[in-house]
Amino acid sequence: MKSIIEDTFAEAFPMKAVRIIITALNLELARKAAISMTGFATSVIACGCEGGIEVELSEMETPDNRPGVSVLLFSMSRGELAKQLETRVGQCVLTCPTTSVFNGLDSGEELNLAKNLRFFGDGWQISKVWNAKRYWRIPTMDGEFVGEEKARWVKAIGGGNLIIIAESTDIALKISECGVKVIQNLPNVITPFPGGIVRSGSKVGSKYKSLPASTNNKFCPALFGFTKDSKLPSDSSSVMEIVVDGLAEVDVEKAMSTAMAEMMKFRGKGLIQISAGNYGGKLGPYHFYLKKILEKEFGAERY
């Protein structure tokens, strides 16, 4: 009997990450600002960064005792991360009614958060130092925008992944949605693609020199029998992927193993196999072996 978990690994790569906390008069406004800020942030292939909402926060968990959300933003370099952070906060958070923004990491190297955004105040902005941190108050039409001057960034990991092979698109979606749902309950990780699910899994490179990535033909059911070295069994008709970015290896491992354990409930119900994407270890130094991390987390063979 073929193992439900393929004996393979997900290949991930180093990234830089920042966490910010967005607060507002109510949770709905904070979430709207976060959703806008993390739009067009699915893949560094073309978006410049990968981002998502990490968790919702109560009034007791935020710096200004208002409801909020924490957002994680990932990029390949410090410079690009700083650029994406400043632009997105300026255009998507500063513009949203009643919002404020704060650094969400206790350690790491500094980068600008509201330091340059203060100039929007056109000379009317004022600063305040509290607990050795500088904040900027920028006048707006609804009152004022408060932003911490600096955020902090840390080394992180991008590209952890799970590939779900199923009998139909409906069941592939249902399985993937269950996997994403349990990941969303975990700290320090995001699933940056729409709804946390990728239908256009990619490989590095293309026959067209201008493209850095192209369709992962080995996992395309429509190309079964046409492409070399297909990774799919003949009874599969739909494949989905979950990509995980995290602040540390242990965070990505936890997300992947928890999702696998949840999705394995569909054994015999349309799930054919759970696999992962890798490039033989040539893309990134982080290798998450599916069977190994599942056994490590749950203490027994689950595959």
Which residue, chain included where needed, has tokens 């602040």? 247
Q: Which of 43, 19, 91, 67 is nearest to 213 (CA)?
A: 43
What pLDDT is attached to residue 121?
98
Strand partners, 153: 18, 109
The structural architecture, per CATH, of the domain 15-154 is 2-Layer Sandwich (3.30)
Return d(Cα 17, Cα 34) in angstroms, integer: 16
Average pLDDT over residues 52-58: 98
Run of H or E including 79: helix 78-88
CATH number of 157-298: 3.30.70.520
> Please, which pLDDT band fits residue 301 given cuts at 50, 70 and 90?
low
Q: Which residues have a Cβ under 8 Å from the Cβ of 258 and sit 6 or more positions away? A: 182, 183, 186, 297
The encoded tokens of residue 290 equal: 């599916």
Q: What's the pTM?
A: 0.94
In this structure, are strands 133-140 and 126-130 parallel, antiparallel, or unpaired? antiparallel
Residues of the chain with CATH 3.30.70.520: 15-154, 157-298
What pLDDT is attached to residue 297?
86
Q: If you average pLDDT over every residue of the chain, what do you get?
A: 95
Q: Which of 15, 9, 80, 10 is nearest to 247 (CA)?
A: 15
